[in-house]
Chain A
Amino acid sequence: MDLLLVDDSKTMRLLVQRAIRQAGYRDLTVWEAESGAEAMEKLRDKTPSLILSDWNMPGISGIDFLRALREGNNLTPFGFITSEGTKKVRDIAMSNGASFIIVKPFSVDDLQVALDTIFGGN
């Protein structure tokens, strides 16, 4: 099992990595990218089981990154971890094919529930 984590904040990547371990997914391989463009590069030779992405990022935003993937017929499960918690943002995310949206600040339980929906529990 592996996961691609996309966030321009080094702090948030660190916190998500830590929360993933605390959620019991210690054997999960986590690839990191600090932008949508870098993530697209990584996806040329990696096929992760899940992509976890921020929404607001410099350059390609999280939602544009998701749209680009789906337009390219990449159907990898995709979730957002974002401070954007409005209904409108949720609706946009889900209608574009996101599996879930986790709003910051999140708990380990929030992350575990989301990961379990993709990996079927650990």
Chain B
Amino acid sequence: MPEASSSAMGKLFTDLIGQNVTFSEQQDPIISSTKQIYCTYLIKPMDSTRVLKADLALLSSFAGALIGLPLESIKDRLAESQPNEALRDALHEVMNIASRIVSIEHRAVFKSMYPDSISLPVDARRTLRVPCYSSYFNVKIDSYEGGAFSLFAPF
């Protein structure tokens, strides 16, 4: 599953949000106790599904930094009972742009974002449960909260 290298991933997000972002690949799955977000990408022309799983705090940092929110403001908005529209829209855009690093050999199209694995479509749940290939990264962002970022592919 050739996805982008750690350095290419870091550069993409650094260029996107204007803060230094580093991706460090890990050998084993990352056990994270914080809330996760799941995103599906359609890989063309095979129409297979790849899944991105990441800490909500990490993706919110990307989204918040993109629209110029400081970390404390992002945390406040995440604590609100209703999802914050500006943050959610920015999160959607970040995931759309992340399609560039989900696959480097084929075209990846961002499809949807899910708040838990139960809500994923059947094929995506299967990919997440028994991936043919997976990769795990610890992500750090200057001045913002980092976290876990993982990719899963069916082949």
Given contacts A11-B67, A105-B16, contact A85 B89 (CB under 8 A): no
Residues of B within 8 A of A11 (CB): 63, 66-67, 86, 89-90, 92-93
Contact: A83 with B66, CB < 8 Å? no
A residues 2-42 near B (Cβ < 8 Å) are 9-12, 14-15
Tell whether, in the assembled complex, residue A9 and residue B89 are in contact, meaning their CB atoms are under 8 Å apart: yes
Contact B89 A10, beta carbon cutoff 8 Å:
yes
| CB of A47 within 8 Å of the partner chain | no
Q: Bin the interface of chain B by size.
A: 10 to 19
Interface presence of B15 (CB below 8 A)? yes
- Cβ–Cβ contact B93 & A56, under 8 A: no
Interface residues of B (CB under 8 A from A): 12, 15-16, 63, 66-67, 86, 89-90, 92-93, 96-97, 99-100, 107, 109-110
Which 6 pairs between the two chains have the least Cβ-Cβ distance? A105-B16, A11-B90, A105-B15, A11-B93, A9-B93, A83-B97
Interface residues, chain A, with chain B CB atoms under 8 Å away: 9-12, 14-15, 56, 83-86, 88-89, 103-105, 107
Listed by A's residue number, 22 A-B pairs whose Cβ atoms lie within 8 Å are: A11-B66, A11-B67, A11-B89, A11-B90, A14-B67, A15-B66, A56-B96, A56-B110, A83-B96, A83-B97, A83-B99, A83-B110, A85-B100, A86-B107, A88-B107, A103-B100, A104-B16, A104-B96, A104-B97, A105-B12, A105-B15, A105-B97
